[in-house]
Amino acid sequence: MEEWNFPPNYNKDYFPDPNSPYWFRDRETMDPEKRDELIVARIRDVMAYAYDHSPFYQRKWDEAGIKAKDIRTLADFEEVPVVTKQELRDSQAKNPPFGDYLCCPESDIHHIHGTSGTTGRPTAFGISRRDWDTIANNHARIMWGMGLRPGDTVFVAAILSLYMGSWGALIGAERLGCKAFPFGAGAPGMTARAVTWLGMMKPAGLYSTPSYALRLAEVAREEGVDPKEFGIKVLFFSGEPGGSIPSIRDKIQDIYGAKVVDCGTMAELTPWMHASGSADTEGMLLWQDIVYTEVADPNTNRRVPYGEQGTPIYTHLERTSQPMIRMVSGDLTHWVMEDNPCGRTYPRLPKGIYGRIDDMFQIRGENVYPSAIAEVLEGLAGYGGEHRIIISRGGSMDELAVQAEFDQETANKGPDAVKAMGERVEAELSRVLGVRARVVMVEPDTFPRTDFKAQRVVDDRDLYQSLNQKRGG
Ligand code: 8LH
């Protein structure tokens, strides 16, 4: 059996056979029932370790009357109370700076990172040297599965400060023996410089958010460069929906002439690539032997059957500094268990992660996700690349308006073409979402582009009213 211990102690020099599509063939392709048995044993190890090292887990599990040794099946594990983001914040407020779920001495901390949000108390990540190496090994393994190989250049086009995404991609690339280029993002003029550097370095892999890859392509074209000239083979995305949304994925694959792989869960769950597609499998595989993921009913926190929707609940099986044990994400997805083209025997999220349950809104009884609107727009010729979703909450029913840019080609054709485009958007949204949206078409480049995760929802009754009047509605 390949290395699979707790705590892990990966051989830093290990590489698989260059012809193997797998880093750890056994772990990736084993009978899922056999894997589940091993996962249960590993859960017991991690729980016993966390109990011994953290007052947070002691309190939580003593109150629930749960002990590691009682976990004999995955169903038993569903009795373990979930961990929320708020509990982590509270723990850090009371036990600054890393909280009383830090399971290693502070002196073992090798890297400090933190959440990227701008509101509320941020969460600090204290990552030990051991965990840093484990994360690098896990990510290298998953990036191998994406088709990246030692010697490839990997260009990290995401903010290198309070964003675990960039760091995770960087250390995975380093462990994989790639030429890692921590280019970053977010500074003024940086996207145009990225275009120059991409042309010079011709990386095999590019990491960013899907929104930023679209932005980068726009800027490349403004600079007279066809993004295909970068010679990228794999674009791997995380941070937001897009990489598993067919219209967005296909558009980006087309623009760059490269394969898109969707990955990423939450910064707290680093190695966050543990949900990731592979070179041959679309959507996201759940690499259960690294982080055990349950897709659960958000009301009961119990697993839903394959084929159904739920919220992911994550459990680290290899982390020792701040292990998350049943951390509830608040996202929504659906999972399936099918034969995967790449031969890995993991469950899969065929449409990736749709978004946060909190971001969902209800329009006349229909649940609508912002990502579903992006999916429709990206699939329509004549779309200018950005939009805003305006929801008026407050009355008995939410109302929905969409401001969508038309592209320059449509603009050149004149007002009738713009009007027809608006009607097409409205018809398509109503067909796909099952709800009527007020659509207002706006000039190309009306909205700022993002170099991080797109924020498109505006929750505003006044704006909704003014758009309504504009349309005479
Ligand atoms: C996603 C996805 C995805 C994250 N599809 N939604 O980038 C990976 C990690 C580091 C990250 O983004 O963590 P962060 O900043 O804590 O954000 C987590 C949230 O981002 C997560 O709950 C999702 O709502 C979203 N997300 N990757 C769809 N591939």
Read off the pLDDT of residues 312-351 as tens digits, 9 standing for 90 and up: 999 999 999 999 999 999 999 999 999 999 999 999 999 9
Examine the domain organization and report whether 285 and 380 are in the same domain: no
What the block records as the tokens of 361 is 């809104």
* Ligand 1 near 310 CB (within 6 A): no
ipTM for the complex shown:
0.99
* pLDDT tens sequence across 432-448: 999 889 999 999 999 99
Handedness of CA 290, 296, 300, 304 (dihedral sign): negative
Q: Which residue, by CA, sits nearest to atom 18 of ligand 1?
A: 266
Examine the domain organization and report whether 310 and 451 are in the same domain: no
* pLDDT tens sequence across 134-183: 999 999 999 999 999 999 999 999 999 999 999 999 999 999 999 999 99
Please count the CA atoms within 13 angstroms of the CA of 289 that sit on its side-chain side: 26
Beta-carbon contacts of residue 117 (< 8 Å; ≥ 6 apart): none
Is pLDDT above 50 for 360? Answer: yes
Reduce the DSSP state of residue 416 to 3 states and report it. Answer: helix
* Ligand 1 near 248 CB (within 6 A): no
Is 147:281 a contact under the CB 8 Å cutoff? Answer: no
> What is the mean pLDDT of the segment spanning 234-248?
97
* pLDDT tens sequence across 277-306: 999 999 999 999 999 999 999 999 999 999
According to DSSP, residue 201 is labeled H
Examine the domain organization and report whether 158 and 272 are in the same domain: yes
Distance between the two ends of the chain, CA-based, in angstroms? 66
Examine the domain organization and report whether 220 and 276 are in the same domain: yes
Is 357:309 a contact under the CB 8 Å cutoff? Answer: no
- Mutate which of 331, 334, 453 for ligand 1 pocket (most atoms within 8 A of beta carbon): 331
| 324 phi and psi angles, rounded to 5 deg | -95, 125
Examine the domain organization and report whether 215 and 167 are in the same domain: yes
| 416 phi and psi angles, rounded to 5 deg | -65, -40
Is 245:374 a contact under the CB 8 Å cutoff? Answer: yes
Is 439:404 a contact under the CB 8 Å cutoff? Answer: yes
Examine the domain organization and report whether 322 and 453 are in the same domain: no
Alpha-carbon distance of 158 to 214, in angstroms, equals 13
**What is the span of the domain harbouring residue 395?**
360-470
Examine the domain organization and report whether 348 and 369 are in the same domain: no
CATH of the domain at 313: 3.40.50.12780
* Ligand 1 near 210 CB (within 6 A): no
Is 305:20 a contact under the CB 8 Å cutoff? Answer: no
Q: How far is the CA of 363 from the centre of ligand 1 (A)?
A: 25
- Residue-by-residue DSSP string for 316-353: ESS--SS--EEEE--EEEE-B----TT-----EETT-E
366 φψ region: left (φ > 0), alpha (ψ -120 to 50), beta (else): beta
CA angle 427, 377, 347 (to 5 degrees): 110
User: Average per-residue pLDDT in the chain?
Assistant: 95
Examine the domain organization and report whether 369 and 457 are in the same domain: yes
Domain boundary residue among 356, 390, 415? 356
Examine the domain organization and report whether 333 and 399 are in the same domain: no
Alpha-carbon distance of 302 to 129, in angstroms, equals 34
Reduce the DSSP state of residue 399 to 3 states and report it. Answer: strand
Examine the domain organization and report whether 78 and 201 are in the same domain: yes
Amino acid at position 279, single letter? A
Domain boundary residue among 335, 356, 377? 356
* Ligand 1 near 85 CB (within 6 A): no
Q: How many domains does the chain have?
A: 2
Is 460:390 a contact under the CB 8 Å cutoff? Answer: yes
Is 104:132 a contact under the CB 8 Å cutoff? Answer: no
Examine the domain organization and report whether 13 and 116 are in the same domain: yes
Domain boundary residue among 294, 325, 356? 356
* Ligand 1 near 169 CB (within 6 A): no
